[in-house]
Structure 1
Amino acid sequence: MPSVSEPPLLAGTAAIILAAGSSQRLGRPKQLLPYGNGVLLDAAIGTARRCGFAQTVLALGGSAAAVLAAVDTAGCEVVLNPDYGQGCSSSITAALAVLRPETRAVVLLLGDQPGARAESVPPLLRALAAPEGPAAAVCRYDDGVGHPLAFSSALLPDLAGTHGDKAVWKLLEQRADDVVEVPTPGRVPLDVDTEEDYRRVLAELQGAR
């Protein structure tokens, strides 16, 4: 029997953690950069675990073997995306293919964005679940919109048909009338693409302690 400290499973919800990139700009696997008491990808997986999703899908591609050898992926359904070089949309498509039939909402988390908070997710899901709710919900931070992003099942076919790195945002623009921005405290969490980005997220982590 689960302990009382464990979050309840959110029936019909799934997380997709996008962590398949080849880290070309960084020059080394960013998923395995030291961060806190583990590595960068641990933070995103930890966020998903704290949310208590019914299903968590982890999309890997570049450096997949090294990641699987080093990272605790317990509780994640791992999907290997051989087409990761075609952008994150290919990982989304691969992950959507293994979702359970009863999935009602999907939350996208970035594997290189350790500052995303589990507390940001429930308001997104509540927005989707509202009567006449939207097809998608995004975090409206103090300085702009950003991840996590949530999509209702009605929008998943469109999401599966996207192509390229920025296609998700293009889809949200195309469906702007059916997207709600959920007020979320703080600034858009940093994602790591370069050494400078990495130094910044480490500085933020140190400042939060």
Structure 2
Amino acid sequence: MNNIPIILLAAGASRRMGQPKQLLPWGEQTLIEHQVNILLTTGHPVVVVLGSCAEGIIPKLKDLPIKFTMNENWEKGMGTSIAAGIKFVEQLYPNCKGVLITLIDQPLVTTTHLNKLSETFEPEKQEIIVSQSESGWQGVPVLFDRCYFDELSKLNGKQGAKTVFRYYSQHVNAIQCGDILEDMDTPEQYNALKNN
């Protein structure tokens, strides 16, 4: 279903990591290249939201078939990146049926899981398809019907996508995905995942 763009949120400063997560080595490439290449295998359009350290990240993306946008307010938190991404998607893909939001620091997320989210989604039914870990945690990657775009585009500060899908919990459909939602905020978490 190519009318569901994917937004990769990659604007943060990675303060606890002590260096830009986006540029950390992951296999033979940087983390952001790894993430973008996974997203591209779905066949969906990919939009990357950049902010901190963008001048060092853009050269890694310039040869990839993606679009990127700058979040000038990235220091105010993830909500501003979601809002920037949604507004950009609405300009680029005005006829899209929904949007899939993913994070830079979940390197274990697979093409299979992303495809399952989009294959489960039924447009125009107010659906929100969330990922659920084996421990019961629910969150990103998450797919929103376009009826939520207005609210997503108004997020600010540290409000994330969870703010919206908790409010509309009756429309949430959770897709199980085992232990692939592990994220990494510290060097210890990064090393643990990289050596997994």
Q: TM-score, normalised by structure 2?
A: 0.90
Question: How many angstroms does 1:188 deviate by?
Answer: 4.2
Deviation at 1:157, TM superposition (A): 1.1
Secondary structure of the equivalent of 2:5? Answer: strand
1:84 and 2:88 matched? no
Matched residue, 1:177: 170
Unaligned regions of 5+ residues in structure 1, if any?
A: 1-9, 205-209
2:105 corresponds to 1:117: no
> Structure 2: which 5+ residue stretches go unaligned?
none
Shift of 1:73: 5.4
Superposed CA deviations along residues 55-82 of structure 1, whole A, max 9, x for unmatched, are 2110000000001123455111110111
Equivalent position of 2:2 in the other structure: 11
Q: Counterpart in 2 of 1:126?
A: 119
Q: Structure 2: how far apart are the matches of 1:84 and 1:156? A: 19
- The answer for the alignment partner of 1:98 in structure 2 is 88
Is the deviation greater in 117-126 or in 102-111? Answer: 117-126
Query: Which residue does 1:25 correspond to in 2?
Result: 16
Q: Determine the structure 1 residue equivalent to 2:161.
A: 168
2:139/2:162 contact within 8 Å kept: no
SS at structure 2 position matched to 1:98 = helix
Q: Secondary structure at the match of 1:97?
A: helix
What letter is aligned with 2:84? A
User: What's the Cα RMSD here?
Assistant: 1.7
Moved over 4 A (4+): none
Distance 1:183 1:69 in 2: 35
TM-score, scaled relative to structure 1: 0.85
- For the pair 1:37 / 2:28, whether they are aligned, the reply is yes
1:52 equivalent in alignment to 2:43: yes
Task: State the Cα deviation string for residues 135-174 of structure 1 (Å, max 9, x = none).
Answer: 2101122123232110111111111122233431121111
Q: 8 Å contact 1:88–1:164 — kept in the other structure?
A: yes
How many residues align structurally? 192
SS at match of 1:22: coil
Answering whether residue 139 of structure 2 is matched by residue 149 of structure 1, we say: no
